[in-house]
Amino acid sequence: IFDGIPILWVGIVPARKLLEDRVPGISRNIEIYDGIIGRNLAGGHLSMEGMPDEGVMSDHHHLNEIGHSYIFCRVREGINRLVGV
């Protein structure tokens, strides 16, 4: 669809335990979704597996400044990899 244009896809932040407690099965659904994207986008999938707990707000889902900074760094790494930096 993008005719050879590289695509970066930001994965879903893994669910924290308290979110899993509120929404049973969400962790597995995130793993399935990210697995599908990872298999179909080869080197373009940016996993959020390393997101620090401190990067997620008290609702255990939305990102705070630390989380957004983490994603920014991952996207920057992905772009640098694509352009050969």
What 3-state DSSP class applies to 6?
A: coil
The predicted-structure confidence for 32-79, as pLDDT tens digits, reads as follows 999 999 888 878 899 999 999 999 999 888 999 999 999 999 999 999
* pTM score of the predicted model: 0.83
Q: Give CA–CA dist 43/82, Å, rounded.
A: 9
CB-based burial label for 45 (10 Å; 0-12, 13-18, 19+): buried
The predicted-structure confidence for 27-40, as pLDDT tens digits, reads as follows 999 999 999 998 88
Nearest to 30 by CA among 47, 12, 55: 12
